[in-house]
Amino acid sequence: MRRLFGSVRARATLGAGLVVALALIAAGAAVLLSLRTNLTDQAGARASSAAREVASQLVSGRSPADLDLPDGEDAPVQVVDEDGRLVAASEDLERISGTGVDAVKPGTAAGKPSGDDDGEAKGEDRGKGEDRGKGGDGSESEISDDTEYTNGSATVDGESADYRFAAVEVSTENESTGDLTVYAGGSLSDEQSAVSTALTSMLVGFPLLLAVVAGTTWLVTRRALRPVAAITEEMSAITASEDLARRVPEPDTHDEIARLARTTNETLTALQTSVERQRRFVADASHELRSPIASLRTQLEVGAAHPELLDVDGAVADTVRLQELAADLLLLARLDAGEKPGGARVDLAALVREELSQRTRDRVDVRTDLKSLEVAGSRGQLARVLGNLLNNAQRHARSQVAVTTRTDGAWAVLEVADDGSGVPEGERERIFERFVRLDDARSRDDGGAGLGLAIARDVAVRHGGTLVVREAPSGGALFELRLPIPQSSAE
């Protein structure tokens, strides 16, 4: 049971069924109440019309014994005087309740009031005007404007039924009759029959309608969630096969499920790219580490066998290269792990001066045009970016390297330019990939492992900035590092 209702389809079907059921119950109750009220009011109107017709005969001068009363089955009538005695009644009336007078034969004193079936009067209505007339002896008679209604029952000629009774008072100056009350009933059989028929129809139709709604919801939800099942199945297959090249099916719609499929495929693409990048990184790192380690081992083995042939300078150079490569790999690992750059304030001009003061073996001179600029970030990482850019410029420059700091709106700009051969336009993005070296760089003995520019761009991006390359005024390469100026410094 828990598994069944753990399904979105089952919960949607149950929810729709409950909502529709509550709506049907409320609507059905309102319809039945309205129908019953309307038909009851119609019965009351018939009863009031019959009572006033009899009252009109009384005010016209007829005595109770000479009244022309309607058929008892259609409208049972009682005429009661002010002392509670029955002075006229419908023919064949055998029993009556709800009028307060249980006598059925004229000249009989009223018995104990039986009350109405509902326990109290249901309301009253105002007539359209006063009916006035002269009694047989010339006295003036009057029909009350008020009509009181009660519910009760009557038995006429052996047939019992429920009625809506209307009571109309007739005031006369005739001492022989005095004030009279006319009770007339309107049959409630139509109301009971209609309500019963409507209730039966609802009891039969509502479950069928509810079943149709539930079935339709189940089918529609099943159809709507079919792509989700396909996505789930494909994701399970991808997990089992570890094949990140596979993609989940995208439905040809524009709904949330289609967006889910597209987002899932985008995530798989990013994951595949990350895994492939990691695999290439491991392979390239292994390759780059193999060369200096093999060279260093060879030199040490030769030195162990022939001390006089030991190339100490070469061994030191290989060790330094190995150390630098290990440091680059470690920094890249920290950057990939999401290491935060921090929020320390760093003066770019002071950072350039400090870096240049430690570089005593540069191949060409470095010209500077520095403006004091503060940025937020990691001093060590930014120093690494500057060092990598200077190493790259020294490697390719012919006679000069220029370092400049300036502002450009909300950005602090650091530029490192050389007068070398520059970077071809088609290679200007590729050089920032890891372990990528252009052909002319590979031919140099002092060429790096191809990690310096990749590290520089990663650091720039993690500091909220950018690093691009374009052509320098001297024809070489100009690397432009842009970093956001902190808000307080900008102000």
Give tens-digit pLDDT for 280-320. Answer: 777 777 777 777 788 788 878 888 888 877 777 777 877 87
Q: What is the per-residue pLDDT for 125?
A: 43
C-alpha to C-alpha distance for 201 and 409, rounded to whole angstroms: 78
Give tens-digit pLDDT for 198-218. 999 988 988 999 899 888 988
Angle CA 327–328–332, to nearest 5: 120
User: Exposed, middle or buried, 258 (CB in 10 Å: 0-12/13-18/19+)?
Assistant: middle
Which CATH number applies to 344-490?
A: 3.30.565.10
pLDDT above 70 covers a percentage of the chain that reads 87
Instruction: Give residue-wise pLDDT tens across range 222-255.
Output: 888 888 888 888 899 988 988 888 899 988 888 8
Dihedral sign, Cα of residue 427, residue 428, residue 430, residue 436:
positive
The tens digit of pLDDT for each residue in 126-148 reads: 333 444 444 444 456 788 889 99
The full set of domain ranges for the chain reads 1-242, 256-336, 344-490
The domain over range 256-336 is classified in CATH as 1.10.287.130 = yes
Write out pLDDT tens, residues 404-425.
999 999 999 999 999 999 999 8
